[in-house]
Amino acid sequence: MIQDKEWINRQKTTNEILNNFQLLQKVKAESVEKIDANFELVVDRLFMAMGNFEKIEANMTLDEDMKPKNFAPGGIDCFISYNEFDLVVETTRRPLSHTAHWDHLEDKPEKKQSGIIIILNIKNSDPNLWIKNISTLNHKNKFFHLCDADFLFKLLKDQPNAFSKFKEFLTESEKIWRNKTKWSDIQTKIITLIRQE
């Protein structure tokens, strides 16, 4: 687990956000070792940069140079506790239906809990992920929001307001998931929501 509080706080700085964006470009180009672990690190750093959390548990292991040794073993990639809700974060470069771990969402959480899957490109996700997500929402009242890392970087262009904009996204995303029945309609609306300027 990443526990260096000074390093975590530093992720809010312009230099670290830029450094993280450059790391994302290397992940996309597959020009870095441990691609999956580095993508998970990018996403963890994005949520650190957004701030406003009471607690963040990024479950991957870093070396002394803050480079990934390995991605989160087994369970939740990152768990973030905010004042109003908890967030379960899953990271994947391969957005297939089996990458959503609905069992990581509690059946009866003490406070509101949301899940989100961060992928490389929202347009390149497997239809079965959308289909299984809507099915799980309908049968178990659990679902994962879906977005890509570029969307979170876009929010961080206005870092002081990034978290409030992220909460707005979660609200709008949940309305879309709960009010639409066809996965293709949900996909279109979520992509539009993420890609709008």
- What element of type H or E holds 119? strand 113-119
Give the pLDDT band of residue 99 (cuts 50, 70, 90).
Answer: low
Q: 196: which residues sit within 8 A by CB, 6+ positions away?
A: none
Distance CA 43, CA 72 (A): 12
Name, of 20-24, 65-69, 129-133, the range with top average pLDDT: 20-24
Kindly state the average pLDDT of the residues 150-171: 96
SS3 content of the chain, % helix, strand, coil (to 5): 55, 15, 30
> Does the pLDDT at position 161 exceed 90?
yes
Domain that holds residue 89: 5-195
In whole angstroms, what separates CA 174 from the centre of its chain? 15
pLDDT of residue 69: 86
DSSP code per residue over 164-177: HHHHHHHHHHHHHH
92: domain CATH number is 3.40.91.50
- Lookup result for tokens 């890509």: 148
Q: 80: which residues sit within 8 A by CB, 6+ positions away?
A: 47, 53, 55, 56, 57, 86, 87, 89
pLDDT of residue 93: 87
Provide the 3-class DSSP secondary structure of residue 70: strand
Kindly state the average pLDDT of the residues 120-126: 91
Residue that wins the pLDDT comparison between 183 and 99? 183
How many Cβ atoms from other residues are within 10 Å of residue 88's Cβ? 22
Number of domains in the chain: 1
Give the pLDDT band of residue 88 (cuts 50, 70, 90).
Answer: very high
Kindly state the average pLDDT of the residues 54-78: 87
> Does the pLDDT at position 72 exceed 90?
no
Distance CA 115, CA 86 (A): 8
